[in-house]
Amino acid sequence: MPFKRRIPKRGFTNPSRRDYAVLNLSQISRIEGKSELDEAFLFAYFRVPKHFMGIKLLAQGSAIRPVTIRVSKASKAAVAKVEQAGGKVEFIGA
């Protein structure tokens, strides 16, 4: 029997998959004294591992103060909560 058929099959790994680090508004609201938060600052502040390609912002928690956040992705609810607090969400790399 050929070697290719003898070895066990383990599934598929997509080589072009993009992994995003997930941050919630409750985590973002703990950052004091900054009115603009970009992805590089968030990677350093939260010590995000290097294998993540970007940051996705989710709506758990609430936005307390107006802040401009620059991330790769965000949920619609998170964008609405940030805009309701007087801030805005900008998308980079899209």
* pTM of the predicted protein model: 0.79
Instruction: Give the tens place of pLDDT for each residue, 2-35.
Output: 998 898 888 888 989 999 999 999 999 888 888 8
Counted residue by residue, the chain has a size of 94
CATH topology of domain 18-91: Ribosomal Protein L15; Chain: K; domain 2 (3.100.10)
- Quick one: pLDDT at residue 11? 85
Share of the chain above pLDDT 90, in %: 67
